[in-house]
Amino acid sequence: MSAKRKSRSPKVPARNALYAQSGGVSAVINASACGVIETARKHPREIGNIYAGRDGIIGALTENLIDLSRESPATIRALRHTPAGAFGSARFKLKGLEQNRGRVRAPH
């Protein structure tokens, strides 16, 4: 009798997550960010580091990122009750990545 082998898929490395908010800022946006970050932290095998784009999608395009893995769980929980937008925001309509990369400048 031969033993059945479980088929194992090759180990896929964890991928990083990026949170970037656009539009108006509010405490509701921060509460949503909190939920996204806390949920991502519950899946370390699938999600490695978690980043936020400073000033929303502008930070993502200019690689101006906040490493949220350096923040404590208490700091992330506090987002639920933090007014305005903790990571900033921008009203910027995306086209293609390469089209936007060259024309976006970091805010002063």
Spatial distance between the Cα atoms of 53 and 89, rounded to a whole number of angstroms = 9
The predicted-structure confidence for 54-76, as pLDDT tens digits, reads as follows 998 889 889 999 999 899 999 99
Token duo for residue 90? 């921008």
Four-way CATH pick for 15-101: 3.40.50.450, 3.50.50.60, 3.30.930.10, 3.20.20.140: 3.40.50.450
Question: Is the pTM value of this prediction over 0.75?
Answer: no
Q: Decide: 71 and 104 in contact? Cβ < 8 Å.
A: no
Among candidates 66, 72, 84, which has minimal Cα distance to 30?
Answer: 84
| Residue 55 DSSP class | T
Q: Do residues 30 and 86 touch, judged by C-beta distance below 8 A?
A: yes
Please give the angle made by the CA atoms of 12, 16 and 20, to the nearest 5 degrees. Answer: 150
Per-residue pLDDT of 9-63, as tens digits, reads 567 788 999 999 887 777 788 999 999 999 999 999 999 999 999 998 889 889 9
pLDDT category at 106 given cuts 50, 70, 90 is low
